[in-house]
Structure formats: C-alpha cells, structure tokens
C-alpha cells in the first residue's frame, strides 16, 4: 500500500517521508538507478576486456613456450665468458653450443 508521501523499499515496509510525493520518490529512484546502470556497463566492459586480454596473453604465452628467449649470439658470448673463466670445459662448451636453437655457425 503506497500512498501519498510514502516510500517502500521492501514489501510491507512503509516509511513516511514528508514533503515527497509518490512521483518525486519514483523520480529519485529512477535517477539513482540510472547512475548505477552506468556502473553495470563499465563493469561489463571491464570484464570482457580482461577476458579477451587474458585469452590473448594465454595464446601468446603458449606460442612462445619452449623457445629460448635469448639470441644465439648472446648465449654464445655468455658461454665464451664461462669458458674463459674456467667454469666449463671445452667439451661442455661445444656440447652447449650444439644444443642451442637457431642457425649454426660454421
């Protein structure tokens, strides 16, 4: 039972707000709902952007998985430094160079 000047947020709950007509109350509720509907649109856009972005990142990660991130020249330079310092033997150096992906220098 809504009457003049009463607002109801829950069924059976009547709150008297003097000075507000039923139209004014409905207008205020409509304004509040339109403000929160903008949040829903932004939340939906954020959800879909993160979902699509996550899928794109997963695909990119899947494609590069198993590949060596460093360039062959950089890895050979690092192996040369380790060989010069005596950290690895000549046989180990040659084995690691042969295992490197990419083109082989002859």
The domain total for the chain is 2
Residue 94 has pLDDT above 70, yes or no: yes
Q: Are residues 49 and 74 in the same domain?
A: no
If asked whether residues 26 and 74 sit together in one domain, one would say: no
51-63 per-position pLDDT tens digit:
999 999 999 888 8
Look up the pTM and report it. Answer: 0.36
| Residue 61 sits in the same domain as residue 73 | no
Distances 47 to 15, 39, 54, 72 between C-alpha atoms, Å:
37, 12, 10, 40
């Amino acid at each position: 039972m809504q009457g003049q000047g009463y607002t109801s947020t829950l069924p059976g709950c009547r709150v008297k707000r003097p000075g507000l007509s039923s139209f004014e109350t409905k207008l205020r509720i409509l304004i509040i709902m339109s403000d929160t509907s903008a949040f829903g649109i932004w939340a939906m856009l954020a959800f879909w952007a993160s979902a699509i972005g996550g899928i794109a990142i997963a695909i990119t990660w899947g494609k590069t998985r198993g590949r060596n991130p460093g360039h062959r020249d950089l890895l050979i330079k690092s192996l040369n430094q380790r060989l010069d310092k005596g950290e690895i033997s000549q046989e180990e150096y040659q084995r690691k160079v042969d295992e490197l992906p990419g083109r082989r220098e002859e």
